[in-house]
């Protein structure tokens, strides 16, 4: 794919430009000495790239000069002649106002179809998408399959902003890596299928993560809590399985041993409590022989003070 020529229906503004077979340079210089406030910047070099991109069936967003200044550009019709790898010359005609696109195929170079309005176009009145599909087939760029011809245009028609990064040009700044890195990998001689597969796997992982989070929100719990509950459930299930096995084999040794152990512990505790209670009751039932010389609150077990004739002393604190 090589540019052969570009021209318009307004030759006084955009005359026919023939491209060299090899290297082409867009050079701008102010020649009028009276224009002292002008320099070589802002003279249309970058805008010429926009014109080429338009002729190569690029999109027109609201910031494009053709949209911003329709009063200036609506009447323009551009013709771009491209040499294909098969030695044919394909001319793309695109009008700014109507948007309709014609394509002409020839074996001759440097035709001027503007001067021949009665030319029989090979494909006429195409929509943008149909024209792109048709042009992609005609250019036959097998080296970048499965990508279409417009994928890499920004790499050899670089605008000023395309030099900020070597590989990520401005048209890819807002897109995800999966939309441009596989293409760059292909240009560098790597297998783009592997790079493409990497991003497909990452997309699947992301979707599964989003699905997991949604399920956790619906269930009201997280996956780590589920694992904890599942672990406890497995422990309980293991115990139930063990008991079922013992019941199935009529083996109650472990159960009886546990019952006996629990019973002995309970009985021993009850005996100790009863012995303590018996000792307290026996002590309270014995006749008191003590004289009370102290004062203070009586213990709960006394209902009356001991007799004054008792021969021992008890101090109550």
CATH number where 34 lies = 3.40.50.300
Rounded to whole angstroms, the Cα distance separating 173 from 268 reads 82
* Residue environment code for 265-274, b if the CB has 16+ CB neighbours within 10 A, otherwise e: eeeeeeeeee
**Last residue of a domain, which of 108, 140, 172?**
140
Among candidates 270, 301, 297, 277, which has minimal Cα distance to 288?
Answer: 301
Predicted pLDDT of residue 276: 86
**Domain assignment present for 308:** yes
pLDDT on residue 249 = 64
- C-alpha–C-alpha distance, residues 177 and 170, integer Å: 13
Q: What is the tally of structural domains in the chain?
A: 2
Strand-pairing partners, residue 17, are 6
What's the pLDDT score for residue 39? 55
Strand ranges of the sheet holding 123-126, from the earlier edge strand across to the other edge: 17-18, 2-8, 77-83, 89-95, 101-106, 123-126
Among residues 140, 173, 202, the one where a domain terminates is 140
pLDDT value, residue 317: 43
Q: Give domain status of residue 301, yes or no.
A: yes
Kindly give the confidence (pLDDT) of every residue in the chain, 317 residues in length, as a single tens digit, with 9 standing for 90 and above: 899 999 999 999 988 999 988 888 777 776 666 655 655 556 677 888 889 999 999 988 888 889 999 999 999 999 999 999 989 999 999 999 988 899 999 999 999 998 777 789 999 999 999 999 999 999 998 888 888 998 888 777 777 777 677 777 777 767 778 878 888 888 888 887 888 888 888 888 888 888 888 887 777 666 666 677 778 888 888 887 877 776 666 555 666 677 777 777 888 888 888 888 888 888 777 765 554 444 455 555 544 444 444 445 444 44
Phi-psi domain of 314 (left: phi exceeds 0; alpha: psi -120 through 50; beta: other): beta
Is residue 156 one of the residues assigned to a domain?
no
Task: Quickly tell me which residue has 């190569």 as its tokens.
Answer: 56
What's the domain range around 78? Answer: 2-140
Q: Is 66 domain-assigned? A: yes
Under DSSP, the state recorded for 174 is S
* Last residue within a domain, chosen from 140, 175, 205: 140
Task: For residue 12, give the 3-state DSSP assignment.
Answer: coil
Helix axes 223-248, 192-219, angle to 10 degrees: 70
**Residue 53 in domain:** yes
What pLDDT is stored for residue 92 in this prediction? 96
Q: How many CB atoms lie within 10 A of CB 152?
A: 18
Residue 244 lies in a domain: no
Residue 224 lies in a domain: no
Radius of gyration of the chain from its Cα atoms, rounded to whole angstroms? 48
pTM above 0.85, yes or no: no
């Amino acid at each position: 794919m090589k540019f052969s020529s570009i021209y318009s229906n307004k030759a006084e503004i955009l005359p026919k430009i023939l491209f060299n077979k090899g290297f082409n340079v867009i050079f701008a210089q102010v020649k009028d000495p009276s224009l002292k406030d002008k320099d070589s910047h802002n003279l249309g070099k970058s805008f010429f790239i926009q014109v080429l991109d338009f002729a190569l069936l690029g999109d027109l967003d609201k910031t494009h000069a053709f949209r911003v200044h329709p009063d200036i550009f609506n009447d323009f019709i551009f013709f771009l002649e491209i040499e294909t790898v098969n030695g044919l010359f394909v001319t793309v005609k695109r009008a700014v106002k109507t948007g309709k696109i014609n394509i002409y195929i020839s074996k001759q170079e440097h035709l001027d179809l503007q001067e021949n309005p009665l030319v029989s176009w090979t494909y006429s009145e195409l929509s943008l998408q149909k024209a792109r599909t048709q042009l992609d087939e005609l250019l036959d760029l097998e080296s970048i399959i499965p990508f279409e011809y417009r994928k890499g245009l920004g790499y050899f028609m670089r605008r000023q902003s395309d030099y900020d990064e070597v590989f990520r040009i401005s048209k890819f700044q807002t897109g995800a890596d999966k939309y441009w890195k596989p293409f760059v990998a292909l240009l560098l001689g790597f297998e783009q299928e592997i790079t493409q597969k990497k991003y497909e796997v990452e997309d699947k992982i992301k979707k599964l993560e989003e699905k997991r989070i949604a399920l956790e929100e619906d269930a009201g719990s997280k996956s780590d809590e589920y694992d904890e509950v599942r672990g406890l459930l497995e422990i309980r299930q293991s115990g139930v399985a063990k008991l079922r096995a013992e019941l199935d084999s009529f083996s109650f040794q472990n159960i009886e041993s546990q019952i006996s152990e629990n019973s002995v512990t309970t009985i021993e505790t009850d005996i100790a409590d009863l012995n303590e209670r018996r000792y307290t009751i026996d002590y309270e039932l014995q006749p008191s022989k003590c004289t009370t010389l102290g004062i203070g609150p009586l213990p709960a077990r006394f209902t009356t003070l001991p007799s004054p004739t008792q021969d021992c002393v008890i101090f109550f604190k």
